[in-house]
Structure 1
């Protein structure tokens, strides 16, 4: 491949992350989150709990044994994590899917992890999701809490 072609290919894989350590220091969740890590493959659906919770898509290359790298791409909440997992499996194939999500799910499918944490009854999934969004500011999330939205929009 020519240099120009390689540059264009690399540009197609560029994702901008906001690494704001003060937001990490300020993170507070009203409950302890016990995350479970799952490969993003259809066979894993049975292992995803059909309960309310929060989830994150992580991009993990897993190419250098012992050197773990995780990139939080997206954070969400659901009243049924198993159904939400299945919705994403369908989005990979759907022409009506959110374009940005569909592209990244397909582009990195062999490196994606679906991490989820169930929440006890009475705990708002939206409140926990907002706290996580404000701390991690994932690049694929369009909706961000007000306290970070304006700041992030100012330099994006």
Structure 2
């Protein structure tokens, strides 16, 4: 392998790099329990997604060696219609003027993305989403709570 090959491979690997924050204090603060449902982000599963309000997460699941817990939680979101949001993510061209981090996920990890969700009443969406973002600190969410963002950014 030549030096140029190594540089090219390094650039490719860096394009798949994300900063994950594992913060047990945040995990311990989230006390509610939910029964999450998950479906691979593909057209054939659209009808399994309810047309209700809810919270969803986007996960990358590489499926390496069939390991049941190999997942990377990348994004937490809320929506008034889980099915509509699921369909939106299937239409990448519609999102092309949207959020770059989400577009990157959809383009780079097609075939490995999972849509996990819980149904929540509309009046509880924002608060529940904010609490989950504070607990998970997902790398593709820009709206990290200020108290956490301040600590994370203090030593950059």
* TM-score using structure 2 length: 0.89
Change (3 A) 1:122 1:38: closer
Please state if 1:3 is matched with 2:6. Answer: yes
Alpha-carbon RMSD:
1.7
> Between Structure 1 and Structure 2, how many residues are aligned?
152
Q: Is the CA contact (8 Å cut-off) linking 1:34 and 1:118 kept in structure 2?
A: no
Partner of 2:105: 104
Q: Distance in 1 between matches of 2:66 and 2:72?
A: 17
Partner of 2:29: 26
What 5-or-longer segments of structure 1 have no aligned partner? none
What 5-or-longer segments of structure 2 have no aligned partner? none
Q: Distance in 2 between matches of 1:71 and 1:122?
A: 27
Q: Distance in 2 between matches of 1:147 and 1:78?
A: 25
Partner of 2:56: 55
Alignment of 1:1-156 (within 5 A): 2-29=5-32, 32-66=33-67, 68-90=69-91, 92-94=92-94, 95-119=96-120, 121=121, 123-155=123-155
Q: Distance in 2 between matches of 1:66 and 1:82?
A: 28
Residue 28 of structure 1 and its aligned partner are, at CA, apart by: 2.5
Q: Is the CA contact (8 Å cut-off) linking 2:61 and 2:70 kept in structure 1?
A: yes
SS at match of 1:43: helix
Q: Distance in 2 between matches of 1:64 and 1:122?
A: 39
